[in-house]
A = this chain, B = another copy of it.
Amino acid sequence: MTKKATHEHTRRYNSRLVLRTIYENDQISRAQIARITHLTRPTVSDVVADWMEFGIVQEVGLAPSRGGRRAILLSVVDDSRHLIGLDLARKDFRGAVINLRGEIRHRVNLTLADSDGEAALRTVYELVDTLMQSATSPLLGIGIGTPGLVDADRGIIHQAVNLKWKNLPLRSLLQERYALPVYMANDCQVSALAEYTFGPDNIMKDLVVLHVGWGVGAGIVIDGKLLHGNPFGAGEIGHIKVTDHGERCQCGQVGCLQAVTSDLAMVRQVRAVAHKIPALLQRAYTPFVNGVTFDTVVALFNEGDETVSQIVHQVGQYLGIAVTYLVSILGGCRILLSGRIIALGPGLLNVVREEVQRRALPELAQNTEIDFASQGTDIVLRGASALLLHNELGLF
């Protein structure tokens, strides 16, 4: 609680405030900055001079004349710094060189050759090594979205089952190797940051990204800040019970959200009733069943197959139950579904909405918006860059 408000503190605060103001206003004069921030003109000029010296802000021209001297306009130089974003939550590791606007300038994807933890770590190094060579501006740092339980404060991946990582101090490993600031959170958490930062404007600022892929988890932004848990675990809803039925989860329980709604779960359910699906029966049946993928599920759903529609409907209801838990605990907020289920479109979304209308308190349901996430397949990369830009430059 005893955080000092010294001159240094104020200066840093003002410096970031000015940069953010320029960043948020495409072109802006020093006078306008002073008006918006309530800082004095000399303070604004001093701070702007610093940012210009770093090359992060530049003068870009003159404002239209209003009689009198025309004001000089300032802009952020979007590519004056680059940063490295990593998405480690896919079967392939993905990395990108990203600019100050979260725009991707260069991509590298690397297949995980081996499935042990050491090999996965070597692949991270290889990815960053390669990306560093592609950056054409000084690097600001590395932002990471990783699967698993992440102690973001200490920079440790407590557990990431699929990568066989346990208590991996990824931040300090990377900081030592590359001498750059490193920030990390789990993939769902950075996805929520991506939506908060780059998503469409919305008066409802509290949001949850509910990610449904081969795993299911949530990222939660409240009051503009990511919820982490103490020390971690916020949004780990893959194993909350949503039904008394369904296949046993790998965790040993029955009825876990993840076990009944992940894309894998949907594929498994469709395979199990393949004999009832005309479009599958038309082909040589038995060998084809194993060829059913999530894309097949989407195709069958879009064709209106009744059996598959029932399965998707049931998945939507389970997701609706999970959303009801979320809003009952967090209060009114925006819920954005992300992951491969987006391909199921409004047909799925409407079931989720109806289930929440049916289950949640009417006042809560009224204050809940349910949509698909807007940031596409780069959501984790963009979120990782938002995490870094926020922490290093005070943007957003």
A residues near B (Cβ < 8 Å) are: 1-6, 10, 13-14, 17, 20-21, 24, 36-39, 149, 158-159, 204-206, 218, 220, 222-225, 227-237, 239-241, 244, 251, 253, 321, 324-333, 359-361, 363-364, 367, 396
A233 CB contacts on chain B under 8 angstroms? 327-328, 330-332, 361, 363-364, 367
Q: How far is the CA of A327 from the CA of B329 in the complex (A)?
A: 10
Residues of chain B with a CB closer than 8 A to A204's CB: 230
- Whether the pair B2, A21 counts as a contact (CB closer than 8 A) is yes
A396 shortest CB reach to chain B, Å:
8
A230 & B367 in contact (Cβ 8 Å cutoff):
yes
**B-side contacts of A149, CB under 8 Å:** 363
Instruction: Identify the closest chain B residue to A257 (Cβ).
Output: B328
Query: Which one, B37, B236, B333, contacts A361 given CB within 8 A?
Result: B236
Name A206's closest neighbour in chain B (CB-CB).
B230
Task: Please indicate the chain B residues that have their CB under 8 angstroms from the CB of A251 in the complex.
Answer: 361
Whether B332 contacts A231 by the Cβ 8 Å rule is yes
Residue A5 contacts which of B17, B231, B328, B361 (CB distance < 8 angstroms)? B17
List, in ascending order, chain B residues with CB within 8 A of A332's CB. Answer: 229-233
Count this chain's copies in the assembly: 2
Chain B CB within 10 A, most for which of A36, A158, A235, A331: A331
Residues of B within 8 A of A228 (CB): 331
Interface pair A328/B240, CB less than 8 Å apart: yes
Query: Chain B contacts of A232 at CB under 8 A?
Result: 331-332, 363, 367
Check A359–B241 contact: CB distance below 8 A: yes
Contacts of A361 in B (CB 8 A): 233, 236, 239, 251
Q: Least Cβ distance of A35 to chain B in Å?
A: 10
List residues of chain B with CB within 8 A of the CB of A253: 359
Complex: chain B residue closest to A325, CB-CB: B325
Question: How many Å from the CB of A172 to the closest CB on chain B?
Answer: 21
Question: Contact at A325–B329, with CB atoms within 8 Å?
Answer: yes
CB closest residue in chain B, given A233: B331
A321 to B331, CA, bound (A): 19
> Can you report 29 A-B residue pairs in the complex whose CB atoms are below 8 A from each other?
A1-B20, A2-B20, A2-B21, A4-B37, A4-B38, A5-B14, A5-B17, A6-B38, A10-B10, A158-B363, A206-B229, A206-B230, A227-B330, A229-B331, A229-B367, A230-B331, A230-B333, A230-B367, A231-B367, A232-B331, A232-B367, A235-B329, A236-B328, A236-B364, A237-B328, A241-B324, A241-B359, A325-B325, A329-B330
A149 to B20, CA, bound (A): 36
A-B complex: 4 closest residue pairs judged by Cβ atoms: A229-B331, A233-B331, A234-B331, A4-B38
**Contact, CB under 8 Å: A329 / B331:** no
Chain B proximity of A207: nearest CB distance (Å) = 9
Once A37-B4, A328-B240, A363-B149 are accepted as A-B contacts, the answer to whether A227 and B235 lie under 8 Å apart by CB is no
Q: For the complex, what is the distance from the CA of A39 to the CA of B327, rounded to whole Å?
A: 43
A1→B20 CA distance, assembly (Å)? 9
CB-defined contacts of A333 to chain B, threshold 8 Å? 229-230
**Cα-based distance from A305 to B234 in the complex (angstroms):** 40
Q: Are A329 and B218 in contact (CB under 8 A)?
A: yes
**A10: which B residues are within 8 A, CB to CB?**
5, 10
Contact B229 A4 (CB under 8 A): no
Instruction: List the B side residues contacting A327 at CB < 8 Å.
Output: 233
Distance in Å: Cβ of A302 to nearest Cβ of chain B = 31
Shortest CB-to-CB span from A191 to chain B, Å, is 16
Residues of B near A325 (CB, < 8 A) are 240, 325, 329
Please, which residues of chain B bring their CB within 8 A of the CB of A218? 329
Q: Which among B241, B326, B367 is the interface contact of A329 at CB below 8 angstroms?
A: B326
